[in-house]
């Protein structure tokens, strides 16, 4: 694959409803898309970062800078045997995994098309119908959240995740459990707590959550070890895990019993597979997280979710939960059983809608 041309675009995509986590509220997504052209094939990737550096330190602006000034110059004009080869050249550039992942993902899309394979098969996937959960943001009122849960369960989703923070936690989870005693339920704190909140976090044990996601510091492992010793709810790490080595260390230290894998956070498919393999060797289940992706990132998440260690329902859900109109054709849909059937066509399996992407673009730069 000779990389002839790379194009960056930043689009603005309004969410149907605001999405609130412990670190803030999102109403419009500003998403950097990476388009790579190679010998007649076109591949796409999406930078998963938020608009502000609250989940991690990346923003659309830092991603644009790192792509333009460091990553694209390494890739453009060169002949690549496989997308797997990108990661070693990226390694000297510290961090900025979401920028790296977007470019690597686009090359994987091209490689799959070139080989006439669906991307999920190329990366070694085997699950053809992936189990789906939903992630529900913090609301003004508990009743609104209860209504949202009811609706998602009626749509067939297999697992409910709710965002929590101090003051929106024990009471909320208690009310959910009262109304939905048997639902597969979990909570995501996005680093809103510290060990000072141990007593409060212990109170969650009574609700038999599947897991609590990233309760402590966004870059912490050791305090999570302390916490996991004290609570029976399994800890799942999200923000703290960036590589296979991070996963190995966290599991061996006892910081978590489950790991959420995001392509962007770990820096692409090669790294995601390393995290997956590190977990699988240690019998730790993984699931695919989401970052409010447009259809392009969503389609990559579907491919990732087919790896055999993805045994728990993930956060990959239907396009229509987030967007009035997605930027891919077909949109991502979920069956009445709460599953996504993987596409059979070569590459990503969902075609980017060029006209719509162009209309939504607010910034654009071409590299040749
Ligand atoms: O921590 O999983 C998270 C959204 C934005 C930032 C962080 C997270 C999330 C989600 C949304 O939970 C999952 C989705 O894309 O549906
Ligand atoms: Mg999370």
Q: Using one digit for the tens of pLDDT, what is the confidence trace for 70-114?
A: 999 999 999 999 999 999 999 999 999 999 999 999 999 999 999
Q: What is the pLDDT of residue 337?
A: 98
pTM passes above 0.95: yes
What's residue 360's pLDDT? Answer: 97
322 CB within 6 A, ligand 1: no
Candidates 163, 196, 257, 359; catalytic one: 163
314 lines ligand 1 (CB under 6 A): no
The residues facing 12 across adjacent strands are 30
Can you give the pLDDT at residue 218? 98
User: pLDDT value at position 112?
Assistant: 98
Note residues around ion ligand 2 (Cβ under 5 angstroms). Answer: 188, 213, 238
Q: What are the pLDDT digits (tens) for 43-69? A: 999 999 999 999 999 999 999 999 999
| Structure confidence at residue 329 (pLDDT) | 97
Q: Is 188 in the pocket of ligand 1 (CB under 6 A)?
A: yes
Ligand 1, atom 7, lies closest to the CA of 291
Relative to the CA of 262, which ligand 1 atom is closest?
2
Residue with tokens 């388009």, as numbered in its chain = 35
> According to the model, what pLDDT value does residue 140 have?
96
Answer yes or no: is the C-beta of 190 below 6 A from any ligand 1 atom: yes
> Catalytic annotation on 262?
yes
Mean pLDDT along residues 209-225: 98
Q: Which of 100, 121, 165, 262 is catalytic?
A: 262
CA-wise closest residue to 200 among 165, 235, 239, 176:
165
pLDDT, one tens digit per residue, over 266-293 is 999 999 999 999 999 999 999 999 999 9
Q: What is the pLDDT of residue 223?
A: 98
């Amino acid at each position: 694959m000779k990389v002839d041309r790379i194009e960056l675009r930043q689009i603005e995509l309004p969410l149907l409803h605001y999405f609130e986590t412990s670190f803030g509220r999102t109403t419009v997504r500003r998403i950097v898309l990476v388009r790579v052209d190679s010998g007649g094939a076109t591949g796409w990737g999406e930078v998963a970062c938020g608009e502000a550096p609250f989940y991690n330190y990346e923003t659309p602006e830092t991603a644009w800078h790192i792509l333009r000034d460091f990553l694209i110059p390494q890739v453009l004009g060169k002949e690549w045997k496989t997308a797997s080869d990108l990661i070693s050249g990226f390694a000297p550039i510290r961090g900025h995994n979401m920028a790296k992942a977007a470019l690597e993902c686009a090359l994987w899309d091209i490689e799959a098309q070139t080989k006439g394979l669906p991307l999920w098969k190329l990366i070694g996937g085997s699950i053809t119908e992936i189990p789906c959960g939903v992630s529900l943001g913090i609301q003004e009122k508990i009743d609104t959240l209860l209504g949202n849960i009811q609706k998602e369960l009626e749509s067939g989703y297999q697992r409910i995740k709710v965002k929590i923070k101090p003051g929106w936690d024990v009471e909320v989870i208690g009310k959910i459990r009262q109304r939905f005693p048997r639902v597969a339920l979990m909570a995501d704190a996005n680093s809103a707590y510290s060990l000072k909140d141990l007593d409060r976090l212990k109170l969650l044990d009574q609700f038999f959550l599947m897991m609590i996601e990233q309760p402590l510091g966004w870059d912490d492992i050791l305090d999570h070890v302390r916490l996991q010793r004290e609570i029976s709810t399994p800890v799942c790490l999200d923000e703290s895990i960036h590589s296979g080595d991070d996963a190995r260390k966290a599991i061996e230290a006892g910081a978590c019993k489950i790991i959420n894998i995001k392509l962007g956070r770990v820096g692409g498919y090669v790294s995601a597979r390393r995290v997956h393999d590190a977990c699988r060797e240690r019998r730790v289940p993984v699931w695919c997280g989401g970052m409010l992706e447009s259809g392009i990132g969503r389609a990559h998440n579907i491919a990732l979710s087919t790896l055999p260690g993805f045994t728990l329902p993930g956060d990959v859900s239907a396009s229509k939960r987030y967007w009035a109109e997605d930027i891919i054709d077909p949109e991502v849909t979920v069956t009445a059983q709460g599953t996504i059937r993987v596409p059979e066509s070569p590459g990503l399996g969902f075609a980017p809608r060029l006209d719509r992407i162009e209309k939504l673009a607010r910034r654009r730069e071409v590299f040749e």
